[in-house]
Amino acid sequence: MEPGRSIVSLAEYGLKNKTALVTGAGSGIGYVICKQLYKAGAHVIAVSRTLEHLEKLKQECQEIQIICCNLTDWEATEHALKYTKADLVVNNAGVALLEPVGHITESAFNKTFNLNTKAAINVIQCCLPHMKSNKHGAIVNISSQAGISAIQDHAVYAASKAALDQLTRVFALELGQYNIRVNSVNPTVTLTPMSQVGWSDPAKAKGMKDKIPLGRFATPEDVTDAVLYLLSDKSAMITGTILPIDGGFTAC
């Protein structure tokens, strides 16, 4: 167990028999979130564009429902999620294409915003009818510290996550009347395959860690703990919140 991490019974979150839809479920943070939700007794709908990853997840959690879908395709997503009845949604799917100012390409911009921002809107809207009819729901968007603080070469990624944060606030404002809560979590560099894109160089990684008061990168479990809390009724009065999980990076 990591230093400072306490043991919390998953049953305490009260997620048993809730239906939770998680995007970007095939690896990294989404994979861990799915497994923890499953252990907590939730009915999990795992969404990813990589069938191989979903099948591996299903081998470990046999009752999980898997949906293979390219979330950047608006109509395909609507079709794939048309009959889902999720009480809880985690928008975790994302991409990090790092380009310095002066060399930003239209392709990278479109790919980034289509998945990091546009897809989140579509997924939420697909799930809203069920939540509205039940007068209850919780949505957590996985954003980034880059949406709060400027980071070298992260212009497009940062903009997509800042947009996601503002969507979180507006969705929280508009959906509160239906008792639907919407929050974001904003991790620092998290030890996942995607983080290798920008942080595999030891010197660069050290430079970032030196700016984090707690002196380390996050683990998927660090992020998952916060997500489960925000999905649960333990956070019943929390909505529209942008929660850094960054070891103090954005406080400095």
Q: Whole-angstrom distance between the N-terminal and C-terminal Cα of the chain?
A: 27
The candidate with the shortest Cα–Cα distance to 148, out of 135, 131, 165, is: 165
Active centre residues (catalytic) = 157, 161
Q: Report the alpha-carbon distance of residue 165 to residue 115 in Å, rounded.
A: 14
In contact, 86 and 107? CB cutoff 8 Å: no
Show Cβ contacts of residue 214 under 8 Å, excluding neighbours closer than 6 positions: 247, 248
Q: Report the alpha-carbon distance of residue 115 to residue 123 in Å, rounded.
A: 11
